Structure 1
Amino acid sequence: MGLLDYPELVLLIPLIAYIVTRRGKEILTPTNWPVLGMLPGVLLNLHSPHEYLTQFFHDRGTTLEFKGPWLSGMNMVFTCDPANIHHVFSRNFSNYPKGPEFRKIFNVLGDGIFGADFGLWEVHRKTTLSQFSHATFAADLEATVWGKVEAGLLPLLRGFCEMGIEFDLQDIFQRLTFDNICKLVLDHDPCSLSPELPHIPCEKAFSAVGEPLLYRHVIPEFIWRIQARFNIGRERKLADAARVFHEFIYSRIGLGSDEEGKGFNMLRAFERMYLDKNLGPASGLRDFLKDTSLNLMFAGRDTTSTALTWLFWLVAQNPATDRNIREEIKIELNNMNGNKWRYFTSQESHKLRYLHGALCESLRLYPPVAMEHKAPLRPDVLPSGHCLESNSRLIVSFYSVGRMESVWGKDCLEFKPERWISPSGKIKHEPSYKFPAFNAGPRTCLGKEMAFVQMKMVAAAIIYHYHVELVEGHPVYPRDSVILQAKHGLKVRLSAIDS
């Protein structure tokens, strides 16, 4: 590796002598250096960017004005203030599209729903919602998830348990959710969750893009443009992943072949929508379906697998939670079946309130999408009093808002599923600006209920059958990525539960 691969390191050279003299002292506080602005402190802490930002919010307040290097166009505002979140995502929603900067940074997403604004976003949302509300969707979801659990997940875990070997549970979740979302969107099961655990480039490419996309937020654009131009460093990883996405999805789109996927087929609906709404030339349909598929696959693979990973990391450290979830399964679902394991429906999953609370608590502490990028069309003043110019960059930290004592109380860093259960035993509702794990306002995730159903099915199947034990000494902490995956995975062992 040379400086051409990671040229942002050059920016630190003038500060090396100073940092050496400060060895062992506090360096978390952002310093606005001449010429370089606050960028050096950020680069020095990119191994833990979300903790770095959260620490600043704790020390200085819930909104930060970031000053980038001179002439870099990197000045921006960071916030985790619920009042600001409510203002931006709900009350003043029309003034805060994703904006051109978002589309530039996340260009790999193309014209899919995540980067779309205005009319394109409206038709994406309407079509997606109609598909999730389709009469056959719940049945297809149940069949897909339980089919993969029965034929893939449980046999694989049984083998790991019988052999007493360590394995990466995060990798298992990523394979499972990748297979499921490919089946739902592309009507194709890539079978990545097979006994041989095959290497499927597209499945692995999703994990590769998160780091380059995060770095695009915090280094000057000209640097990552240089990397992209010469296909080096992190931009090479992003380009390689984009190529793999294209090859995998294009080979499975199969335009105009309703006979291929009988019954529910999501892409057919987007094809009809594209043509009916005249969203572009017929020659652009294939690219549009690729972008649509990729966005849905990002949501279905990365967010759900990441949420499950942190749930099991937290539950493994809290034996009482593990016992409570298992007991709830037996009481709510299996009491009429002699306490024997059985598969349950989407509707029956609502009975698992304590498991729901555990998932919400995990999502509060470790939201899979750790930050969101916004840009006002017109100048605005946030409730915190901070002024924003047109098209300026606003970064909202979903990770930090779940860790603010001012928002969640003095026990905000504790894992307490009971936090989500009311005295009457029902699930407590929290406003999305306080609990933005599924985004907030009109752009709240349309797949929220689908995600909860899938997570409950997978989590219940594992917890009912096994104790999950963490491998001692294995480090578990978030990656420096826009998706909050565990950097080194989640190494575990299993021990069987006596039914």
Structure 2
Amino acid sequence: MKPVLSNQQHQTASSLVGFSTFEISVPSLPPGIVINDPANVEHVLKNNDIFIKGEFFRIRSWDLFGNGIINADGDLWKIQRKAGLRFFSNANLRNFIDNVVPPILLDTEEFLDSAVRKGRVIDLQIVLLDLTTRLMGNMAYDMDMPASLPFSKSFDFASGATGERFQNPFWKLKEFILGAPLRRAVFDIKKFGNSIVSAAIQKRKSDHGSSKTDIQRNSDPLQNNLINSLLDHINDHQVVADAAMNYLSAGTDTTAQSLTWTFYLLMRHPDAREKVLSELRSTFTEANHVLPLSFDTVQPSHLPYIAAVFNESLRFYPPVPVELKESTAETTFPDGTWLPKGSVVMWATWAMGRSKNTWGDDADKFRPERWLIAGDEGEPLVLKTMSAFAFPVFNGGPRACLGKRMAELLAVHVIASLIWKYDFAEVFDKEAILGETPKERRSQNSLTLPMEGGLPCYVRRKDSGAGESS
């Protein structure tokens, strides 16, 4: 049974204009609709019992995500979210920014310094992925996980292959014939997830005979990591392994990709880059050439322009460009659209971020200032809060992203640190070298939004003159 669309033209899912609702007419998808109106998105995100991941999504993503939180519904989702809530506590976030980030970020800077000395081109996307993977590994699993691990390549490959399943109605036939590389990648991913759980269980056993009590462990941010929280809440170790890999993907790939697009936009908009430096100079007037970055000083409210740059980058390049849900009951949307049980509903965060209805006539322009409100005379700028349903980058409602605050704090920290110390310049293609306008970089096929071909660039170390170029 097809959805009945009130006062709407029946168009294909590719016709994303304004706040209209469209019937899906795509061979690989079941009957459903594409929504663009924030009010309709709010209806979906607030009704977690009506709109679930569903079998259409779960069947295609099962190999990669298993019973992890990305795939889960109902009680299985609730218990994993409860474990995540404990991990993303304020105490853990403070420990993350003040103790975990600085030494690993220093390793990143040493790598960049080496590239400067040798005059090497770097792939900034790989550099940032290595940074976020090591950070999440240390904080969540008490393990050092460089992105060079075979697991990372396997996950990247499997994510792309899984994304293709949503586009190809004959994916099962294709993988029956050509699916060996994907099966090997999934095997590597599962093996790595199980190794995380095994290592954590072994450590818990060794700690059991020590003087640490459960109360002491729960009050210690270094011990109250994600894997311990998952093991405390979930008895099935395979589910724990699936959940661990889901959280690892959400905490590394999406953050690294978002930072990659942010630095790309700053390279393409030197005026915004100069405003970042200006904010740092005016905020840290006593810095003595070293920024005193900490949990307190990287709050978005403390460095609002840098936070606005990150938000504007997310508006253009959301890490999850398309979302899909399945209805468990018939429902009527705020615009009058009726949807029967078992249908799917999609919204493109990527398209919503470019909607002139929401963002104005300059929606196609990179303008961080749209996120800022001028204070009274002499007062600092204030970061504007946007509805999670008009700007659903971090989802909203009951399934709002648990790692939102961690991602924002880390982004401000990394942007401030690297822009203060380094100049980055893109390695352009032949057209740009010949004087033509450089092509806009594209994303590769994936469930998330990695930059196709990475972000090759030149890097130069600034002198110690408070962010001034040498």
- For Structure 1 versus Structure 2, the TM-score category normalised by the shorter chain is 0.7 to 0.9
Distance 1:445 1:165 in 2: 37
- Does residue 217 (structure 1) correspond to residue 166 (structure 2)? The answer is yes
SS of match in other structure, 2:68: coil
Q: Match of 1:479?
A: 444
Q: Match of 1:336?
A: 286
Compared with structure 1, are the counterparts of its residues 136 and 362 closer, same or farther at alpha carbon in structure 2 (3 Å cutoff)? closer
Contact 2:193 2:242 survives alignment (8 Å): no
Distance 2:120 2:20 in 1: 44
- Does residue 172 (structure 1) correspond to residue 137 (structure 2)? The answer is no
TM-score by length of 1: 0.80
SS of match in other structure, 2:457: strand
2:456 to 484, 487, 491: 491
Distance 1:343 1:299 in 2: 28
Q: Match of 1:470?
A: 426
SS of match in other structure, 1:342: coil
Give the CA deviation at 1:249. Answer: 2.3
1:427 is matched by which residue type in structure 2? L
State how 1:19-418 maps to structure 2 within 5 Å.
53=14, 56-58=15-17, 62-69=20-27, 74-90=30-46, 92-107=47-62, 108-133=64-89, 135-150=91-106, 152-192=107-147, 199-220=148-169, 223-230=170-177, 232=178, 235-253=179-197, 254=199, 255-258=201-204, 259=206, 263-275=223-235, 285-332=236-283, 334-338=284-288, 340-350=289-299, 351-418=302-369
SS of match in other structure, 1:349: coil
TM-score by length of 2: 0.84
Identity across aligned pairs (percent)? 27
Distance 1:248 1:427 in 2: 40
Distance 2:20 2:114 in 1: 48
Give the CA deviation at 1:174. Answer: 1.1
Contact 2:308 2:372 survives alignment (8 Å): yes
Deviations 1:154-185 (A, max 9, x none): 01111112222222101111111111111122
Q: Which runs of 5+ in 2 are unaligned?
A: 1-9, 208-216, 376-380, 431-438, 466-470
Q: Match of 1:431?
A: 387
Compared with structure 1, are the counterparts of its residues 142 and 242 closer, same or farther at alpha carbon in structure 2 (3 Å cutoff)? farther
SS of match in other structure, 1:116: coil
Distance 2:339 2:180 in 1: 33
Contact 1:372 1:397 survives alignment (8 Å): yes
Number of residues of Structure 1 aligned to a counterpart in Structure 2: 422
Q: Match of 2:213?
A: none
Contact 1:205 1:241 survives alignment (8 Å): yes
Deviations 1:11-63 (A, max 9, x none): xxxxxxxxxxxxxxxxxxxx99xxxxx7xxxxxxxxxxxxx94xx213x8633
Distance 1:167 1:343 in 2: 27
Distance 2:48 2:229 in 1: 27
Give the CA deviation at 1:137. Answer: 4.5
Distance 1:228 1:427 in 2: 47
Contact 2:122 2:459 survives alignment (8 Å): no
Give the CA deviation at 1:189. Answer: 0.3
1:454 to 410, 428, 443: 410
Give the CA deviation at 1:319. Answer: 1.0
Compared with structure 1, are the counterparts of its residues 134 and 61 closer, same or farther at alpha carbon in structure 2 (3 Å cutoff)? closer
SS of match in other structure, 2:228: helix
Distance 2:105 2:29 in 1: 48
Distance 1:329 1:237 in 2: 47
Compared with structure 1, are the counterparts of its residues 315 and 75 closer, same or farther at alpha carbon in structure 2 (3 Å cutoff)? same
Distance 1:141 1:320 in 2: 28
Compared with structure 1, are the counterparts of its residues 62 and 305 closer, same or farther at alpha carbon in structure 2 (3 Å cutoff)? farther
Give the CA deviation at 1:141. Answer: 4.4
Give the CA deviation at 1:227. Answer: 2.9
Distance 2:349 2:70 in 1: 16
Distance 1:317 1:173 in 2: 18
Compared with structure 1, are the counterparts of its residues 131 and 287 closer, same or farther at alpha carbon in structure 2 (3 Å cutoff)? same
2:407 is matched by which residue type in structure 1? A
Distance 1:141 1:457 in 2: 8
Moved more, 443-452 or 235-244: 235-244
Distance 1:290 1:342 in 2: 38
